[in-house]
Amino acid sequence: MINNIIEMFSYTFILRAIIVGVLVSLCASLLGVSLVLKRYSMIGDGLSHVGFCTLAIATVLNLSPLLVSIPITIIVAFLLLRINESSKIKGDSAIAMISSGAMALGILIISTTTGVNTDVSNYLFGSILAMSNTDLYISVISSIIVLVIYVIFYNKIFAVTFDENFAKGIGIKVNTYNAIIAALTAVTIVIGMRIVGSLLMSSLIIFPTITSMLIAKKFKTVTIIAAIISVITFFIGIYISYSYNFPTGASIVLINILFYLVFVIINKVKR
């Protein structure tokens, strides 16, 4: 097994995927705590489908997929946030509408131009082969920016997540911080979906938090444990994917589910 791991690290493309994967897992799990607790999980799911659509557009226009997707997805994130807060249509239905609409548009664009090829299935299901050098740089820089902003605003994000009304009442610009959370989520999703795929990306956001909440009772501990779980499951997932030639995204998600079930059992036994 150790030989296997050493061998795995010797491939540049896997090394790239691992660097980006670890950073994205961290971002997704940290933001995930806030998104799950604010009942925004579906925004993550919606954004990953929008990300698919924008990647499709970028491919057809022959532009850099990340440079097109990141700004558009951020804009849609703001839109989803607004809809969630103020729409007459129920927030979750509105998100489902945008999400399937974006998916449909993406599929239509691709099937009328390039056809459903490996590239497309990479976007849907993720691939560690998909990462170019430019992608690597953009992904690393963006996810480090996401992490730094998260740490700087950690206390504000906590207050806004726990009690929006109180935060508003004492003069905190709640909408600004919600927008920051949404923008960071958008960036994380676009970067992460290259590895795990747009269909599975939201699980990177949701699972670590849900699992972590089974054992931790403080916000800070939940956040830290979610980050640890997220990185560990990523490593195990990518190792299994490499060793048995399984799809990467699916492996990571299934390992996450396994972790969740193990924690549920531990929790039951403890009581």
Partner 1 sequence: MKNIIEINKVSLCYQNNKVISNMSINIEKGDYVAIIGENGTGKSTLIKSILGLKKVDEGKIKFNYLKRNEVGYLPQKNTSQKDFPASVFEIVLSGRLNNLGFKPFYTKKDKEIVIENLKKLDILKYKDKSFNELSGGEQQRVLLARSLSSSKELLILDEPVTGLDKKTTEDLYKIIKELNIKDKMTIVMVSHDLESAFEYANKILELKKEEYTYKKVEEYIHEDNCDFCEEEFDD
**Site residues (vs partner 1, CB under 8 A):** 37, 39, 151-156, 158-159, 162-163, 165-172, 213, 216-222
Question: Measured between alpha carbons, how far is 110 from 89 in angstroms, rounded to an integer?
Answer: 30
Interacting residues of 100 by C-beta distance below 8 A, sequence separation 6+ = 49
Dist CA 142 CA 204 (whole Å) = 17
- Give the nearer residue to partner 1 in terms of CB position, either 63 or 144: 144
Q: Residue 82 and residue 86: Cα distance in Å, rounded?
A: 6
Please state the closest distance from residue 167 (CB atom) to partner 1, in A: 7
- Please identify, using beta-carbon distances, which residue of 60 and 149 lies nearer to partner 1: 149
Question: Minimum CB separation from partner 1 for residue 150, in Å?
Answer: 11
Give the nearer residue to partner 1 in terms of CB position, either 115 or 171.
Answer: 171
Dump strand ranges (E) for the chain.
none
Q: Which residues contact 232 (CB under 8 A, 6 or more apart)?
A: 259
Distance, in Å, from the CA atom of 231 to the CA atom of 40, rounded to the nearest integer, reads: 22
For residue 193 the two structure tokens come to 């979906």
**In the complex with partner 1, which residue's Cβ is closer, 9 or 166?**
166
Q: Which is closer to partner 1, CB of 79 or CB of 216?
A: 216
**Of 39 and 90, CB closest to partner 1:** 39
Distance of closest approach, residue 265 Cβ to partner 1, in angstroms:
20
CB of 77 to partner 1, least distance (A): 21
Nearer to partner 1, 154 or 235 (CB): 154
3 state SS of 246: coil
CB of 218 to partner 1, least distance (A): 4
Residue whose pair of structure tokens reads 């969740």 in the numeric block: 260
For residue 26, the 8-state DSSP code is H
Question: Nearest 5°: phi and psi at 118?
Answer: -60, -40
Minimum distance from CB of 35 to partner 1 (Å)?
13
176 C-beta neighbours (distance < 10 Å), count: 12
Task: Report which DSSP code applies to 62.
Answer: T
CB of 211 to partner 1, least distance (A): 12
- Identify the sign of the CA torsion 69, 75, 81, 85: negative
